[in-house]
Amino acid sequence: MILWSSVSSSAIKQIGYEPSVNRLHIRFKRGEREYSYCHVPEEIYRAFLISHSKGAYYTQYIKGKYPC
C-alpha cells in the first residue's frame, strides 16, 4: 500500500512511499505525471517529506539515483 502525503512545493504535488518494497512515488504538478524510484531507504523518504525545498532535495538526493 502506498502512503501518500500532499506537500507544499511549487513543482511536487504528492510524495508516496511503499515501505514493504522501499519504493518512492512522486506526483509532479506539471503534467500530472507520477514517477517511481526503487530501493529508496525510509530515511531518504522521511527527510524528503520534512525538507524545506522539495525540489532541491529531489535533485540532490533522489533524481537519477534509484532506478527501478
Q: Is residue 32 part of a domain?
A: yes
Closest CA to 48 of 40, 21, 65: 40
pLDDT of res. 31: 79
Residue-wise pLDDT for 30-42, tens only, equals: 877 789 999 999 9
Does a structural domain hold residue 7?
A: yes
- Rounded CA gap, 28 and 3, in Å? 16
Parent domain of 46? 3-62
pLDDT digits (tens, 9 = 90+) for 50-65: 999 999 999 999 999 9
Residue 68, domain member (yes or no): no
pLDDT at 48 > cutoff 90: yes
24 lies in a domain?
Answer: yes
Whether 50 is covered by a domain: the verdict is yes
pTM, full prediction: 0.90
Total domains, the chain: 1
- 47 inside domain: yes
Q: Note whether residue 26 is domain-resident.
A: yes
